[in-house]
């Protein structure tokens, strides 16, 4: 009996290790799909800035990624037009190269992302979705992927969606969210919009973080320019929606808790200070 229990324990451990391995991002074959809604909260402006800083860090060299601006759902708010195209061009390169504007070109954006997803899946890679918004766009992309001949079983095994926000789930079309939960590896992690759980607290009203990022003494000139741009976009955005942290002169890149999860950063970046030291100020 003890031997059987021991064997069962070993098998369970191996299965768990296999599952963890299957959900570990492989730079040589996987794709990060970073979906930002930008409707109407400026946290997507800062989350995109934080992701851009990560992608320009030596540790992320070679990461295959594609960003989407305007990947929103059913919420009735204003899209942050200040975010595209100039700002996203400066973060990720020319429009349609490493990012697409789904707000203005939804169907074309779905087609662009579909082509990238199909290529990666056919090459044996996985798709990791940073769902920094609602999931309507992801649903439409995967329906297009299926129409291209990719089996649902392949999607179920190789598409990992990471969502942190209860708000985002509530503003996704319910039938589309249900389909995604049933036909992908859907990971709902702790909400990055609160500070009492297992995800990093990537938001603060403390003005020191922007000051450090924008300081002429910051040796990371690339990150300095990125955060100067992010601050300018947020300052110029006028909406009925107010992000209390950003309005106070602080930072809010809470959607990047999904990057923290996808890339298994752990204690390396489990708060603003460690994130800043690694990706923003080079300390």
Whether residue 33 contacts residue 129, with contact meaning beta carbons closer than 8 Å, is answered with: yes
Helix (H) and strand (E) counts in the chain: 13, 8
- Looking at residue 214, its pLDDT comes to 98
Element (H, E) at 208: helix 208-214
- Looking at residue 19, its pLDDT comes to 45
- Residue 252 token pair: 């809010």
- Cα-trace Rg, the chain: 19
Residues in the chain predicted with pLDDT less than 70, given as ranges, are 1-22
Whether residue 202 contacts residue 192, with contact meaning beta carbons closer than 8 Å, is answered with: yes
Give the pTM. 0.92
Whether residue 130 contacts residue 162, with contact meaning beta carbons closer than 8 Å, is answered with: yes
Residue 155 CA to residue 118 CA, distance in Å, equals 10
Residue 99 CA to residue 97 CA, distance in Å, equals 6
| Pairing, β 127-132 against β 185-188 | unpaired
* Residue pointed to by tokens 């924008």: 214
DSSP class of 254: G
Residue pLDDT, tens place only, 131-156: 999 999 999 999 999 999 999 999 99
Element (H, E) at 100: strand 99-101
Residue 188 CA to residue 196 CA, distance in Å, equals 16
Whether residue 38 contacts residue 241, with contact meaning beta carbons closer than 8 Å, is answered with: no
Collapse the DSSP code of 239 into the 3-class scheme (helix H, G, I; strand E, B; otherwise coil) and give the result.
coil
The domain 28-280 is classified under which CATH number: 1.20.5, 3.30.70, 2.60.40, 3.90.245?
3.90.245
Taking alpha carbons only, the member of 163, 155, 55, 69 closest to residue 114 is 155
Domain ranges of the chain: 28-280
β-sheet bridge partners, residue 139: none
φ, ψ for residue 223 (rounded to 5)? -65, -40
DSSP class of 79: -
Q: What is the 3-state secondary structure of 153-189? A: HHHHHHEEEEECCHHHHHCCCHHHHHHHHHHCEEEEC
Residue pLDDT, tens place only, 102-133: 999 999 999 999 999 999 999 999 999 999 99
């Amino acid at each position: 009996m003890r031997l059987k229990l021991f064997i069962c324990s070993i098998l369970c451990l191996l299965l768990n290790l296999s599952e963890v391995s299957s959900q570990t991002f492989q730079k040589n074959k996987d794709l990060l799909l970073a979906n930002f809604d930008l409707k109407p909260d400026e946290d997507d402006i800062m989350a995109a800035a934080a992701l851009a800083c990560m992608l320009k860090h030596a540790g992320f060299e070679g990461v295959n990624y594609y960003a989407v601006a305007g990947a929103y759902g059913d919420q009735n708010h204003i899209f942050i037009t200040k975010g595209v195209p100039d700002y996203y061009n400066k973060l990720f390169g020319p429009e349609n190269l490493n990012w697409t504007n789904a707000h203005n070109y939804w169907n074309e954006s779905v087609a662009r992302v579909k082509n990238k997803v199909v290529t990666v899946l056919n090459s044996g890679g996985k798709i990791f979705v940073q769902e920094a918004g609602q999931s309507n766009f992801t649903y439409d992309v995967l329906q297009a992927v299926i129409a291209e001949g990719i089996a649902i079983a392949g999607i179920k095994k190789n598409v990992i969606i990471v969502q942190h926000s209860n708000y985002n789930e509530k503003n996704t079309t319910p039938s589309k969210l249900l389909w995604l939960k049933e036909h992908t590896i859907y990971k709902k992690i702790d909400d990055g919009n609160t500070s009492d759980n297992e995800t990093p607290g990537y938001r603060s009203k403390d003005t020191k973080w922007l000051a450090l990022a924008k300081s002429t003494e910051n040796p990371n000139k690339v990150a300095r320019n990125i955060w100067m741009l992010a601050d300018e976009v947020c300052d110029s955005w006028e909406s009925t929606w107010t992000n209390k942290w950003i309005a106070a002169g602080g930072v809010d890149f809470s959607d990047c808790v999904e990057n923290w999860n996808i890339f298994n950063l752990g204690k390396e970046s489990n708060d603003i200070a460690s994130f800043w030291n690694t990706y923003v100020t080079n300390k």
